[in-house]
Amino acid sequence: MIFDFLKKRLNSFRYAFAGIKELWVKEKNTRIHMFFTISAIAAGFLLKISPLEFALLILTIAAVWGMEAINSGVERVVDLVTLEKKPLAKAAKDLAAGAVLIIAMASVIIGLIIFLPKIFQLFVLNFS
């Protein structure tokens, strides 16, 4: 009984990792997300942001990646249901893409809130 429970949990992780692999292999936007993920984390280390700022940064990055995965899932389900051009299918895809854009814009704002004061302080200290 306990082995069945553990086996099901293990399979859940396998499915989740398969989804992450699908996202990485099949979605072009993941390369863009990865570039900004690496850039933001590197900037965090270089600018010595606080642990709380790092936590917010990681949550923001996770939100963008998670929303991109949901968007990709919605696109696949819509394509499974119909390949015809239908207004509701388009609306579903557009709404999911819009959700990614909302999270991405919020992440840019959060990044600016975290990084701009540090960058400004760096320039003030170096050029004064």
Torsion of CA 38, 42, 48, 54, to 10 degrees: 10
Residues 6+ apart with CB under 8 A from 93: 74, 75, 78
Q: Which of 22, 27, 53, 68 is catalytic?
A: 68
68 is catalytic: yes
What is residue 83's three-state secondary structure?
Answer: coil
Catalytic residues: 68
